[in-house]
């Protein structure tokens, strides 16, 4: 910690009803930022990708966060592993309660961005606590999901398919990727944006390197966190109107994997077929059968260059009659739970976690 920061922290200590109050700067070494954060702004780390998480441990009973919000983001507050409240900051700067009247002992606090990038960007300015921060254990595992609206959690808390998108029903904390990561004690990066494709336009690969996907100057240092597992869930939008050209799509997919290998040469990569894929829609396209055949070709292309640490996972097509469907035909929480079970089983089998 810089001397100026330490002085600021020490000067902020005061007696409040018999407790000790402290203002902690957002760049304090005890604070963990999990996901892609832009660390270049002097006011504090900024995040936009869904499921971006801030966590810290402190000994006390009351915690607040100082946050600058650009849009309509919502954050899941988690205390000692249990979701407690949903933080709905207003645009601009504000100070928000995370926890109060907790037993006066060591607590772990997590703030998880429920909403995706185009909903807004958050900037963490500091924390107000009634006790000291403590050291946090670091995870030695990282799962990265690369996807579209499904991986964002779009509408997963919606009640019916006729319901349209709203921030209140998007919950990245309860996506299949986030659920899997928690079950396996892994950190989680959610590089997903609604409507995005693999190829040829509006693609995830074109924004993959960014800390803030709408800021082309915010290049992420890809060597900062090397994933052990990479899950690619891109195809739903690619096949949503007509089937893309096989050669163009499969070669673009293979080239993207090659790019990922430059960062994570040992990662287990899963190429997945999402639960919205079906042979019934669009009519006469046989999209589900087609995408599976395309992925066979992707694996062949990878094997031809000696990359066989890849497998395909087909998530079961969602069943409205049995499980319900979320907003705008997207998978709901029940389907995300089923997807997580499949992904977790694959990782446990393949990596012996």
CB 327 within 8 A of CB 161: yes
Q: Return phi, psi of residue 191, to 5°.
A: -95, 80
Q: Quick one: 205 and 293 in the same domain?
A: yes
Cα separation values, 334 from 11, 208, 339, Å: 49, 29, 9
pLDDT of residue 119: 98
Which residue in the block uniquely carries the two structure tokens 């002097």?
42
13: left (phi over 0), alpha (psi -120 to 50) or beta: beta
Residue at which a domain ends, from 99, 117, 134: 134
List the CATH number of the domain containing 70: 2.60.120.260
CB 327 within 8 A of CB 164: yes
Q: Quick one: 247 and 130 in the same domain?
A: no
Give the H/E segment covering residue 277. none
Give the H/E segment covering residue 254. helix 246-263
Question: How many domains, the chain?
Answer: 2
Domain that holds residue 96: 3-134
8-51 pLDDT, tens digit per residue, is 333 333 333 334 678 999 999 999 999 999 999 999 999 999 99
255-267 pLDDT, tens digit per residue, is 999 999 999 999 9
Q: Quick one: 241 and 124 in the same domain?
A: no
What CA–CA distance (Å, rounded) separates 14 from 11? 8
Q: Which residues of the chain have pLDDT under 50?
A: 1-19
Q: Return phi, psi of residue 47, to 5°.
A: -140, 150
List the CATH number of the domain containing 280: 3.40.50.1110
Our measurement of the distance from residue 2's CA atom to the centroid of its chain's CA atoms, rounded to an integer in Å, reads 31
pLDDT of residue 78: 98
Residue 18: half-sphere exposure toward Cβ, Cα within 13 Å: 2
Q: Quick one: 306 and 164 in the same domain?
A: yes
pLDDT of residue 20: 62
Q: Quick one: 165 and 89 in the same domain?
A: no
pLDDT of residue 249: 98
Q: Quick one: 39 and 130 in the same domain?
A: yes
In sequence order, what E strands does the chain have? 14-16, 19-25, 32-34, 37-38, 46-47, 53-60, 63-69, 75-79, 82-87, 92-99, 105-113, 122-129, 133-134, 142-147, 187-192, 229-233, 268-273, 310-314
Residue at which a domain ends, from 134, 153, 173: 134
């Amino acid at each position: 910690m810089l001397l100026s920061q330490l002085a600021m922290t020490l000067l902020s200590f005061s007696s409040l009803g018999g407790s000790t109050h402290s203002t902690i700067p957002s760049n304090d070494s005890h604070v963990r930022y999990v996901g892609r954060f832009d660390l270049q702004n002097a006011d504090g780390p900024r995040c936009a990708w869904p499921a971006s998480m801030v966590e810290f441990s402190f000994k006390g009973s009351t915690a607040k966060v100082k946050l600058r919000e650009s849009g309509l983001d919502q954050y899941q507050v988690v205390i000692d592993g249990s979701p407690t409240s949903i933080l709905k900051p207003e645009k601009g700067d504000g100070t928000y309660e995370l926890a109060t009247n907790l037993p006066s002992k060591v607590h772990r606090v997590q703030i998880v961005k429920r909403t995706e990038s185009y909903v807004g960007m958050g900037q963490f300015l500091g924390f107000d606590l009634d006790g000291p921060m403590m050291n946090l254990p670091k995870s030695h595992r990282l799962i990265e999901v690369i996807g579209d609206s499904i991986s964002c959690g779009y509408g997963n808390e919606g009640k019916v398919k006729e319901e349209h998108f709203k921030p209140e029903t998007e919950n990245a904390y309860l996506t299949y990727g986030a659920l899997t990561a928690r079950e396996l004690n892994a950190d989680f990066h959610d590089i997903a944006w609604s409507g995005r494709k693999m190829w040829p336009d509006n693609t995830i690969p074109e924004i993959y390197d960014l800390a803030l996907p709408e800021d082309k100057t915010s290049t992420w240092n890809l060597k900062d966190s090397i994933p052990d597992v990479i899950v690619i869930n891109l195809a739903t939008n690619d096949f949503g109107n007509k089937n893309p050209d096989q050669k163009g799509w499969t070669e673009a997919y293979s080239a993207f994997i090659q790019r990922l290998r430059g960062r994570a040469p040992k990662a287990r990569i899963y190429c997945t077929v999402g639960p919205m894929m079906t042979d019934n829609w669009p009519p006469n396209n046989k999209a589900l059968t087609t995408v599976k055949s395309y992925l066979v070709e992707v694996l062949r292309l990878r094997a031809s260059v000696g990359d066989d640490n890849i497998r395909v996972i087909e998530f079961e097509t969602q069943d409205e009659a049995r499980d319900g469907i979320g907003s705008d035909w997207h998978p709901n929480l029940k389907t995300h739970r089923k997807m997580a079970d499949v992904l977790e089983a694959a990782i446990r089998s393949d990596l012996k976690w």
